[in-house]
Amino acid sequence: MTRFIQLSDLHIRGKKKLENINCEKIVRFIINRYPGPRRDKPVVLITGDIVDDGKAKQYRSAVKLLKPLVEAGFTVLPAPGNHDYGPCGNIYTEDSQADFQKYMLGELIDYAPAKKPGAKMEKLFPMVTKAENAVFIGLDSVVGKEDAAMHFASGEVGKEQREKLIAILTDPGIVLGKRIVVYFHHHPFYHALGLEMDDAKQVLRILANKAHFVCFGHKHKSKVWSAENNIDWIMASGKTTEHNADHKFQFREVQVDPHSNAVSMITFSPESG
């Protein structure tokens, strides 16, 4: 039976920054919570804003902090957020985009297509990962906005990815008999000026009656919608490296079952990490 957990908006920065310290504690907690062979471990989704300013040194820190999950046998699936692509999450740069590909997809998870000569981020998503009874589909909700010099944290999946997504979701060889988990960064229901995902309505229409789980972050506020937009579960993550009101860390854990899915929040104190 497939399980997954969702982390988001880690905002990894300099070595001694609070987010980095907290990320290390969270990774240690996850490794200790899920011992045993690879088949018993949950898939780890990271729904964007892994680093804070898209800088290479931040990505190197992210690899160092997150690599223990991979080494412990976890399948880690990162998707990019607006902060991963440039300073303050407001300016996209080709260097930051290339560094996400190099460090997050290449060095962290050893994703072969990302390491091929001439490979470009624009062609790497949707990213499809098959599990026991589930298929994980990652989207880049930033790339559709990459030509805009200033975007003020908004995003867009874009026509090319949407067309690929439709092809994936209608391919029986990929989806037949599987539970479909789609993950990306931007919040499809949050329409504050400059912060929206511009093609959210189109994306949600594509996912309706096809996706069973949709996971994202961006707003730093945890929330769950059940049976919304003809999707079983829609789940927004908070900022994982930030304490909740009880001064504890939390992330969502999901057991993917064809008959009765189980969604729960894992909460733990900093000392547990």
Q: Do 19 and 13 touch, CB atoms closer than 8 A?
A: yes
How many separate domains does the chain show?
1
Token couple for 257: 């079952």
Q: In what order do the strands lie in the sheet with 231-236?
A: 127-130, 134-138, 179-183, 213-216, 231-236, 223-228
Looking at every residue in the chain, the average pLDDT score rounds to: 93
Q: pLDDT tens-digit profile of 220-232?
A: 999 999 989 999 9
Instruction: Read off φ and ψ for residue 190, nearest 5 degrees.
Output: -100, 110
Beta-bridge partners for 215: 183, 235
Q: What is the pLDDT of residue 58?
A: 97
Q: Give the CATH number of the domain where residue 116 resides.
A: 3.60.21.10
Q: Within 10 A of 168 (CB to CB), how many other CB atoms are there?
A: 18
Residue 51, SS3?
Answer: strand
Mean pLDDT of 248-260: 92
Nearest residue to 251 (alpha-carbon basis) of 2, 3, 59: 3
Residues 244 and 55: their CA atoms lie apart, in Å, by: 27
pLDDT-based confidence at 145, cuts 50/70/90? low
Residues 210 and 130: their CA atoms lie apart, in Å, by: 16
Q: Do 256 and 3 touch, CB atoms closer than 8 A?
A: yes
Q: What is the pLDDT of residue 148?
A: 57
Instruction: Read off φ and ψ for residue 61, nearest 5 degrees.
Output: -65, -40
Q: What is the pLDDT of residue 143?
A: 84
Domain that holds residue 168: 3-272
* The pTM of the whole model exceeds 0.85: yes
Least confident of 55-69, 141-155, 183-197, 231-245: 141-155
- For residue 173, count CB atoms less than 10 angstroms from its CB and return exposed for 0-12, middle for 13-18, buried for 19 or more: exposed
Residues 260 and 245: their CA atoms lie apart, in Å, by: 30
DSSP class per residue in 62-126:
HHHHHHHHHHTT--EEEE--GGGGSGGGTS--HHHHHHIIIIIIIIIT--HHHHSTT--GGGT-S
